[in-house]
Amino acid sequence: MTEPVLSLGGGALDQMMPMHLIVDQTGHIRHAGPTFMKLQPGRSLVGLRLLEVLELKRPRRVMSMDELAALAGGVLHFILRTEPHTRLTGILVPLSEGNGVLLNLSFGIAVIDAVRDYDLTNVDFAPTDLTVEMLYLVEAKSAAMKESRKLNARLQGAKVAAEEQAFTDTLTGLKNRRAMDHILGRMILSGTDFSLMQLDLDYFKLVNDTMGHAAGDHVLQKAAQIMVQASRVDDTVARVGGDEFVLIFQGLTKKKRLLEIARKLIAALEKPIQFNGRSCRISGSIGISISNGYDLPSAEQMMKDADLALYASKNRGRALATVYCEKLLQTPDLTAPPSSAGGPTVFF
């Protein structure tokens, strides 16, 4: 039988083995270390039977204190009977003069979960316990991971900002040509119906020439606001050149509705824009192509056709909208004056 251990005061045991239990010969707990007490908050352990608090998982079939004491010196595996059913490893030795046993416990590989579950710190372990060193390593790793996550978040934010900047026109805040190409490609690949509206500002060069580039920049910004207000959340407004814009209307393919939008856009653009006490006057000419007018739409062809329709609008007197169709190609006189009504011109 294992040689009895020396008698030690409770304070010494609490410091050296904060997870120990002293169990008398009848199997009742007479003392519990401070860390083990944290595993049973609000519960008085003294007087409870050991096997009421802990379930012995290995070896099995231990029913009495004598059977348990016979396992002195061997490794025992327990599980707490209360939530969260923490697993514990222990070793017991008999106390002198038949006063029961000393059972020293540890968390083993479950220590990280235990630290979290019971809010343990390094003071809850013996100073010589390797767990303390491991906790320092865990804390260092946790701090490093936290800083790494912060850095990754900043890098991701910087990446998003850089991508957003790469797809944004800096003067107007609209999408740029690169973004437009990306959006068109995605819509065509997904089979989404849409319409493409090319818009050029009429008389913009005159504003730049007579009032300066600051006035021109101001007009471009105001024009961009008008276009954004005329579009929906899922639509796209892009500046693709100096005074050239493209509006992409997702899911909208009705000519009548597109012409209503074009008419309102032109009317809004024709309202004088104030700059330093002076009025800047512009207008807009529009060309439209619609994806369901093609067997297999392509961004290049739709841009080319919308540009041709825009060219027709300009040569018919400006401040007009033209919807592209094949008959437009059969119209030799693209320089004919606009209709007397002055409204949108549509080719069917």
Look up tokens 């856009």; give the residue.
Answer: 265
Calpha distance 124→132 (Å, rounded): 9
Cα R_g (the chain), whole angstroms? 41
Residues in the chain: 348
| Count of CB atoms situated within 10 Å of the CB of 201 | 20
Residues 259, 344 contacting (CB under 8 angstroms): yes
Q: Which residue among 124, 129, 202, 243 is the active-site one? A: 243
CA distances from 162 to 33, 165, 194, 241 (A): 57, 5, 28, 21
DSSP conformational letter for 301: H
CA distances from 269 to 262, 286, 308 (A): 11, 12, 21
In the annotation, is 200 catalytic?
no
Residues 222, 245 contacting (CB under 8 angstroms): no
Residues classed as catalytic:
243
